[in-house]
Structure formats: structure tokens, C-alpha cells
Amino acid sequence: MNAVRTAVAPATGYRPLRWHRDHRVGLAGIVGAVGLCVIVGGLGPSVITITVGPRRDLLPPWYLPKGILDPNEWLVSLMIWAAIAVGAVGLRIAMRALDDGWRPRVRRLIWLGVGLITATILVPPLTSADVLMYAAYGRLQVIGRNPYEVTPADIFRGQYDPVMHWTERPWTDTPSVYGPITSWTQVAANKLGGTNMHDIVFWLQLFSAVPFVLACLGVLFIARSAEPERQARAALMTIANPVLIWAVVAGAHNEALSVVFAVAGMIVIRKSPFLAGLAVGVGGCAKISIGIWGIAMLWAYRHEPKQLLKICLGAAIPMVAAYGLWQPAALHQAIRNGGIISTGGWVNLLFSLLVSIFGHSPAKIVVGVLSYVLLPMIVYMLSKVLPWDPAPGIAPGVDSRKDPMTIALRTAMIIGFAWVTTSIYTLSWYDLQVWMPVALLTAGKLDRLLVIRGAVLSASFVPGRAIPFGPALTWAAARVRAPISPIVQMLILAAVFLWWKWPQRPQLWMVWRSPSGVDGDDQGPGVGDPQITPAADADPASKVAAS
């Protein structure tokens, strides 16, 4: 492999010799990406920035008053595409700098992340109008309707409603697919915001950002006893991760409501399986997909029936209360949501081809079956190549293959990644539950794959709203959504296969044989790198280092 050299001066710390391993470039990209998003949001309603209704007080989100500027649709779209790309590149550069020896102060990274997240929720949500639907579902409950049985369109088509009036297609005819805890936050936002959509949206943004920060802090709490490099890595991949900040916080998505409880359960899994199960069960009451972490916890204690039973009992208490007693319809709606085809996912091109040949229903069955076949295949491949890196805090002398936290984190990482990459309906904010264990363990190539997947999938939904655009922007956005994003998502699956086939190869997709005879791995020096030849009388250790 190419040798990358850095100079470390004791007095000043890490000094990069190449821009693509320069922590300053990486941090500039991270901050710049969020800055671009904040600027777009501050410009006011556009094809990117959602319309949240009139402001009646000083509460955020803040933006320029109507009439001052009319943001051009191409300008704001290009700014967000640039923000996603700059953020992803900045994150990769910062991660490379960590690999090379950069050791930032973790507290500074934490405060950086908190500052970026705070800035993001001071402007209106971007690209996705899902938050308007969250507000509408809360409004339905306030007026005494069941959001799992009645849709917002059922109301506003028959009468004027000051909140549901602002909702946007395509989900206005869809009942809520979220768990009871998420529904409670939607009610709370309506209680706090009254009948003003602007204020309701702010509280929903807060209910998205606070659990996100707490989940990230939970990961950092787990990593508190790890070496500085791992702590910094955990901070970069969670709280200061621009890919996640865009995917989750900028759109005010509620994914973190479930993840924060799962992380809390992971904190106590070594000492109290019952509390771990209870926490992940509460998380499942926010969003059922976090059940992947529950499966991971069960796998961690598969050889200990008593502890296994404790996890099941803990998880059953909130799940039975929420889905069995309080709102049985919620579980049905959540499961039904799994049959939708995602436009930016790997399946999109294949599904379109099959529809043209066999029709909609047969095509949906075929891709659904293929998805279920691919899921265990990806799980198997990853289980063979991912290292058994011990989780932070493991007791001295304990085998990582027998440590409950290590097993649970590794399993959640494997199944979670397999799920988001093979599901027929996948979105970039679903990756949050995968990033958490990736931040704590040695993930091989998964961190690189997650950056690529998240950035491209996010870009495919810019603009992501069901409102009219100009014909040129409509064409350009459609090309990113298909074929670019589906092709990249298929390449992600191909990269996992190649990783399994050639586990020693560092590249993601290189499949040819190098002149040295090693598959996909150039053993010679890079362009401009001098040949390093050890002296004839050098000791063996120095010869190995030089080679």
C-alpha cells in the first residue's frame, strides 16, 4: 500500500503533510457544510426550505421575512448538494487525520457538534416536509382523532384547520406509522405551539435535536475509558458528523427518539440485562425498527437463558403496554409501512424494469423476496470480515467474543447495516442506528461505506418535496434520484461482497490484479513518494517498518 508519512512534533502535535489528511481541512468541511445549510434555511421558504406558516413571536426557526428575497431554486439546490458533498469529504478527511495521529480534545469536538446542531434548528427544516406531518398527527390527537385511523386529509378536505392547512403531499392521506412515544411528542409540540405551525415545528425540531445529542453523548459515555483516538473517533462519527446532522437534524426527523433509548440500554447491558431490555423496549415504542438492537442484545446472551429471559421481560413491559393495550393500531401501521418502494434505494431501477415487464404487483413481490434473500447474505458476509474489536470498558482478561456489550454492538452494526442497505424502503436518517455502534468498534470499511451511502442517498432527495419545480431542476433531481443513487446503493452491496471475497484488500471496489500479483492492492510507493530502502545492517524491525 502507499506509505503516507506525517511529522509529529512533540511541541505542536500533529502536522499533516497532505491536504487530504489535514484535520483543519476536515473541520472546515464539517463546519462549512452546516454553514451552507443554515444559510439556505435563513433565506426563507424555497424549494429546499419548507414553509412553516406565519411567525407570531420570537421563537425559532428564524429566516428572512417574506418579500425580502425570493431564493432561486437552482441556487439553493446547488448549495445543499455542495453542503452534503463538502460535509462528507470533510468527515473522511478528519477520519484520515485521526488514523494518521491527530488527537483532538474530545470536549472541543463535542461542543463543536452541539453548536452545529443548535445552529441547524435555528432555521426551518430543509428538503423534507415530514415534520409538517408530525405536527398534523399531533393536531389530530389534540382535536380528539386517532392518527392511526384518521389522516390529515380526512380533516382539511372537509374543514379548515390552522395546522393541517400547511401540510404537503405525498403523505397527507397516510395514517401515522410512528410509535406511541413519538405520537406523545407530537401532541406535546402541539400543546406547546398552540395552533401556530411555526411554533409547533420549532418544538418538533427540539424533540429531534435533543434525543440526537443525548444518544451521541451516550455513545461517548460508553467510550469514556477508551484511548483518546477512539474517543475522538466516536465524537466525529456521532455528534460532529455532518452526514448525520443533515440526515436527522436538518429535516427534524424523529429517528433519534428510538435510538437514544437503545443507547441507554447498551450502557447497562453488562450489569443489568433487564434494564437493557426495558430501554430497548421503550425505544421500540418510539419506532419499531430499533428492534434490531433488541435482537442484538438477545444474541449477546444467547448462551445464558436466565439473562435472555430478563431482556425479553424488560422489553415486553413497555411494548405490550404501548402496542397491546394503548394503541394496537400503531403496530399494524408500522409494519404496513415496510411495503413501500424507496425511490433512491438500490431496488428502484430493478423495480422499474420489472414493472414494465410484469406489472406492479408481481414486480413488488420479486423485489421483496430478493430483499429478504439479500439481508441474511449481507449479515453472513459482514460477520466473517468484521474484526472482534472489544467494546470500551471490557474487563481485563475477558474475551471480546464473550463480552455482552461487544457482541451486542457488533451484531447491531451488522444487522443494522444489512437492513438499511437491502431494504426496499430506505432513507438516509435510518443510518443513525448503524453509526452508533460503528463509532464504538473497529468497523473495517463500514464507516467509509456509510459516508458514501448517506451522502448520495441524501443528495437524491434534494429537492425532496412534492411541490412544483422548474423543468430543468425536476430533470436534474430525478437523475440523481435515479439512476445515480440506486447505482451507488448497488455498489455498496457489491463492496460488501468484494470485502468478503478479498478481506485483506483495503480498497472498496478495486477488483483487478496489480503488477505485484496482489489482488487490488498496489504495493509500490505512490506518485511522488520516494523509495524507502533499509540499510544493509539495519535491524529486522526497521526493515519491516520501511517495507
3-class secondary-structure state, position 507 = coil
Query: Which band of pLDDT confidence, cut at 50, 70 and 90, is reported for residue 219?
Result: very high
Helix (H) or strand (E) holding 9: strand 7-9
Q: What is the pLDDT, as a whole number, of residue 512?
A: 58
Region 417-434: mean pLDDT is 96
In a domain, 368, yes or no: yes
Mean pLDDT for the chain overall: 90
| Closest CA relative to residue 293, chosen from 306, 305, 302, 284 | 284
Least confident of 174-188, 478-492, 530-544: 530-544
Evaluate whether residue 51 is within a structural domain: yes
| Paired strand residues for 519 | 513
pLDDT band at 326 (very low <50, low <70, confident <90, very high): confident
* Number of CB atoms found within 10 A of residue 288's CB: 22
Model pLDDT for residues 459-495, shown as the tens digit of each residue: 999 998 888 999 999 999 999 999 999 999 999 999 9
130-140: average pLDDT: 96
> Beta strand 7-9 with 13-15: parallel, antiparallel or unpaired?
antiparallel
Residue 105: give the domain boundaries: 16-501
The answer to whether residue 4 sits within a structural domain is: no
Q: Which amino acid is at 330?
A: A
* DSSP secondary structure of 311-372: HHHHHHHHHIIIIIII-HHHHHHHHHGGGPPPTTSTTHHHHHHHHHHH-HHHHHHHHHHHHH
User: Could you tell me if 131 and 205 are in contact, meaning their C-beta atoms sit under 8 angstroms apart?
Assistant: yes
pLDDT in tens, 41-89: 999 999 999 999 999 899 999 999 877 889 999 999 999 999 999 999 9
* Residue 201 grid cell: 415545528
In whole angstroms, give the CA distance from residue 194 to residue 427. 31
Closest CA to 85 of 349, 499, 506, 480: 480
Residue 58 neighbours by CB distance under 10 Å: 6
Q: What angle do CA 448, 454, 458 make, to 5 degrees?
A: 150
- Spatial CA neighbour of 4 closest among 529, 488, 534: 529
Report whether pLDDT(523) > 60. no
Which pLDDT band, with edges at 50, 70 and 90, does 209 fall under? very high
Termini Cα distance of the chain: 10
Instruction: For residue 180, give the 3-state DSSP assignment.
Output: helix
Nine-digit cell string for 188: 406535546
* Number of separate domains in the chain: 1
**Residue 271 located in a structural domain:** yes
Which ranges in 480-537 belong to alpha helices (H)?
485-501
Q: Which residues contact 474 (CB under 8 A, 6 or more apart)?
A: none
Give the CA distances from residue 216 to residues 223, 234, 326, 349, in Å, rounded to whole numbers and listed in that order: 11, 8, 30, 35
Interval 272-278 mean pLDDT: 98
- Asked if residue 506 is part of any domain, the answer here is no
* pLDDT tens digits, 374-402: 999 999 999 999 999 999 999 999 999 99
At what angle are helices 256-267 and 404-422 packed, to 10 degrees?
A: 160
pLDDT bin (cut points 50, 70, 90) of residue 511 is low
In a domain, 512, yes or no: no
The count of other CB atoms within 10 Å of the CB of residue 515 is: 8
Neighbouring residues of 503: CB distance < 8 A, sequence distance ≥ 6: 384, 385
Q: Give domain status of residue 426, yes or no.
A: yes
How far, in Å, are 78, 262, 306, 310, 542 from residue 302 at the CA level?
Answer: 50, 19, 10, 12, 46
Give, in degrees to the nearest 5, the angle at Cα 507 between 503 and 512.
90
More confident residue, 514 or 459: 459
Residue 410 lies in a domain: yes
Please name the residue that has the C-alpha cell 397516510. 174
